């Protein structure tokens, strides 16, 4: 059984859209590539045909992985999130105690992570160090550059 992953409505919809695309237009374009390669003659020496069949296998594997992810995913009701401590989908404002820099991150599922939009994976070292903490707590987190002490300034949803 796959690990249960929690998603925002936006993240879950994005996964469903991608799966729909892969099953419809994606499969259709691969089928066309295989048909075109088959029309070119002898299949035993047809590299184009082999490549198209390999692409089909990879495509089907991606579909299976997405289906598995969706089967083990759960939608989190953001309105019911407890803002007294850091949880998945929390929006956390933290301050680097050493240099005073503040950052705001939302802790999301791995597939929704996007640092440019302030979304970090709940499996990332920073998120792991913040989970379960409350406003005012200080925590030392091991990051690639070494240990950094953060103070939690604000938790919202």
CATH label of the domain that carries residue 133: 3.10.50.30
Shared domain for 34 and 64, answered yes or no, is yes
What is the CB neighbour count within 10 angstroms for residue 48?
Answer: 14
Answer with the one of 26, 55, 75 that is the final residue of a domain: 75
The pLDDT value recorded for residue 80 is 65
Q: Do residue 59 and residue 86 come from a single domain? A: no
Residue 98 and residue 130 in one domain: yes
Domains in the chain: how many in total? 2
pTM assigned to the model: 0.61
Same domain, 152 and 87: yes
Please tell me whether residues 68 and 40 are part of one structural domain.
yes
Q: Which of 2-11, 34-43, 47-56, 61-70 has the lowest mean pLDDT?
A: 2-11
Q: What percent of the chain has pLDDT over 70?
A: 94
Contacts with 130 (C-beta within 8 Å, 6 or more apart), sequence order: 86, 92, 94, 107, 139, 141, 150, 152
Q: Which of 58, 75, 92 is the last residue of a domain?
A: 75
Domain CATH number, residue 39: 1.10.287.180
Q: Is the pLDDT assigned to residue 1 strictly greater than 60? A: no
| Residues 56 and 104 occupy one common structural domain | no
94 and 137 share one domain: yes
Give yes or no: residues 53 and 90 share one domain.
no
As a whole number of Å, the CA-based R_g of the chain is 22
Q: For 54, how many CA atoms within 13 A lie in the half-sphere containing its CB?
A: 6
- 138 lies in which domain range? 78-156
Residue at a domain's end among 46, 75, 104: 75
**Digit-coded pLDDT (tens) for 127-150:** 999 988 999 999 999 888 889 999
């Amino acid at each position: 059984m796959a690990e249960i992953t929690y998603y925002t409505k936006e993240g879950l919809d994005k996964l469903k859209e991608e799966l729909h695309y892969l099953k419809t237009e994606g499969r259709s374009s691969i089928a066309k590539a295989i048909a075109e390669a088959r029309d070119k003659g002898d299949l035993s020496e047809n590299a184009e045909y082999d490549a198209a069949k390999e692409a089909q296998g990879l495509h089907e594997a991606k579909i299976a992985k997405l289906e598995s992810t969706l089967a083990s995913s759960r939608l989190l009701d953001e309105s019911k999130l407890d803002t007294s401590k850091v949880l998945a989908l929390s929006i956390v404002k933290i301050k680097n105690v050493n240099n005073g820099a503040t950052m705001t991150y939302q802790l999301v599922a791995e597939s929704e992570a996007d640092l440019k939009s302030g979304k970090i994976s709940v499996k990332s070292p920073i998120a792991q160090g913040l989970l379960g903490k409350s406003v005012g707590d200080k925590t030392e987190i091991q990051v690639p550059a070494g240990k950094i002490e953060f103070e939690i300034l604000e938790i919202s949803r």
